Each structure stands twice: as C-alpha cells, then as structure tokens.
C-alpha cells in the first residue's frame, strides 16, 4: 500500500500472531503499547528479526558472506552468517516454535541478488520437514547442507508509491500472499482540528483525506494516495500507525 497506511503497524501485530499464537489469542484487550512491548521482547529473544532492503543490500548481508577483520595486526577473512541464515538456524534449533522475519521495503532491493538460490528454498513445499525438502550447499560453506525450516515465516512490506508491483521479481511474487493496505479515513472520524485551543468545527479530517485521495486517484493513481497515519498526530490520545 501507499506510505502512511499503517503497514508497519499491521506487521507488528501479524508477527506476534504468528510467533506467540497462544499469547495473541488470549481473550484480553491489550493496548498498543503492550503489543509493541511484547514485540520488542521477541526481537530481543531472536524469535522476530527485522531488516530493511535497499539498493546496496546484497546476498552477503542477507545469507552469508566473507567479512574482512583485523586481529592482532593480521587480516582475517571469515565467513559470517547474515540475517536470514541466523534466524533459520534459530528456527531449526527450536522446531516447535514459530519464527518471523520481517523485510521492510522488500521491493527496494534487488531480489535476485539478495535471495540468490534461496528463492527456491523459501517455497512451502521445499522447506525442511516437508516431503519435497530441498537443501543446498552455500557457496561459502562447502560440505554443509542448508535448508529453510518450515517454522520460519517471512513478512514483507512494500510501498506501492515507491515502485510498481510489476517491477518485483515474478519468482518472489508467486511465493507470497499479497494483502493490500489502503488509507482508512474512518480512523480519523473523531479527530478535530484545533486553533488557539479552540476546535475548528468546519474541518472534517476524515472527509478531507477522502476527498484528497479521490483527486489523487484521478490525477495520478491509487498507489500515490495519502495514508491516514499522517493525520493521527492531530489527536493526542490516538493510537498512531507507523
């Protein structure tokens, strides 16, 4: 969805629903601050990892690569695991627990370059523990088989105004389920504009956003709509979407 529609907000909730389903399904009304706090705890525990793709991000950062380090005056060339390999190893060690990798701005990176041969391994039927499991030898780790565990879930966010979906690798698209998140003007229905501590009754923020986005759809396209999160700051007590 477009910027400011609460993609990160929704992602945090979805990650908790996957990683701690028992905690999430409890019949208790939780505040947003409690949800965020629990998310931080799981990140610290390593059950949830977060990474942002960009133009310079590569296979070495995501899977594994050779890092040059100086030790006692000598240069060492060590193979170090990336974000994806690390969380895969943790998931393999704890097969009865769910792990979540969140990839922010997934469409900003060079998918073929970053995923490499893993584009095949993340397919559901090829995961470790399934009948058609597929394991490979990574270029920098000879004689060691690597596979993706089935208890690892990948969530990606995509700013549709940044780049069209058509530019995303087709191999990646068919391996993910897409959920569209568009602006929700109704969230702003109770927000009032104030000036000099007086409420300006004439301005309906929800209607304002709705009208602006209708014009943007006509003049540009729906991918450039304005998200509701830009306006939640107008209400001090509101729950803010990121």
**Distance (Å, whole) CA 18 – CA 23:** 10
Which residues make beta-bridge pairs with 200?
193
Which residues lie closer than 8 Å to 74 by C-beta, 6 or more apart? none
Beta strands of the chain (E only): which ranges? Answer: 48-52, 64-71, 74-81, 99-104, 136-137, 145-146, 152-156, 192-195, 198-204
153 alpha carbon, distance to own chain's centre: 11
Report the range of poorest mean pLDDT among 90-94, 124-128, 214-218: 214-218
Of 162 and 31, the structure prediction assigns the larger pLDDT to 31
pLDDT tens digit string along 78-93? Answer: 888 999 999 999 999 9
Query: Are 80 and 74 a contacting pair, CB within 8 Å?
Result: no
Predicted confidence (pLDDT) per residue in 37-54, tens digit: 999 999 999 999 999 998
**Between these two residues, 181 and 145, which has the higher pLDDT value?**
145
User: 238 pLDDT exceeds 60?
Assistant: no
* % the chain with pLDDT above 70: 84
pTM, entire model = 0.80
CA distances from 25 to 6, 14, 29, 30, 150 (A): 22, 12, 10, 11, 22
Secondary structure percentages of the chain, helix, strand, coil, to 5: 40, 20, 40
- Model confidence at 194, pLDDT cuts 50, 70, 90, reads low
Q: How many CB atoms lie within 10 A of CB 84?
A: 25
Higher-confidence residue of 10 and 228: namely: 10
pLDDT in tens, 64-81: 988 877 777 788 778 889
């Amino acid at each position: 969805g477009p910027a400011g529609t609460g993609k990160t907000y929704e992602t945090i909730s979805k990650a908790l629903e996957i990683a701690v389903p028992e905690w999430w399904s409890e019949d208790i009304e939780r505040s947003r601050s409690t949800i965020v706090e629990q998310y931080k705890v799981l990140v610290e525990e390593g059950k949830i990892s977060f990474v942002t793709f960009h133009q310079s991000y590569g296979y070495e950062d995501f899977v594994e690569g050779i890092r040059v380090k100086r030790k006692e005056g000598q240069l060492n060339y060590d193979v170090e695991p990336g974000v994806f390999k690390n969380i895969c190893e943790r998931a393999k060690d704890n097969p009865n627990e769910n792990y979540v990798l969140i990839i922010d701005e997934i469409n900003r990176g060079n998918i073929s370059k970053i995923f490499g041969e893993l584009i095949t391994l993340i397919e559901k039927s090829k995961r470790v523990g399934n009948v058609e499991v597929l394991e490979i030898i990574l270029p920098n780790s000879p004689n060691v088989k690597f596979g993706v565990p089935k208890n690892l879930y990948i969530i990606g966010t995509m700013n549709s105004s940044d780049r069209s979906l058509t530019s995303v690798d087709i191999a990646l698209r068919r391996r993910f389920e897409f959920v569209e998140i568009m602006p929700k003007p109704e969230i702003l229905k109770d927000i009032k504009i104030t000036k000099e501590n007086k409420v300006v009754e004439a301005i309906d923020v929800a209607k304002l956003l709705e009208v602006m986005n209708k014009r943007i759809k006509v003049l540009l396209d729906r991918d450039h709509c304005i998200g509701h999160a830009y306006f939640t700051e107008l209400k001090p007590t509101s729950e803010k979407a990121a």
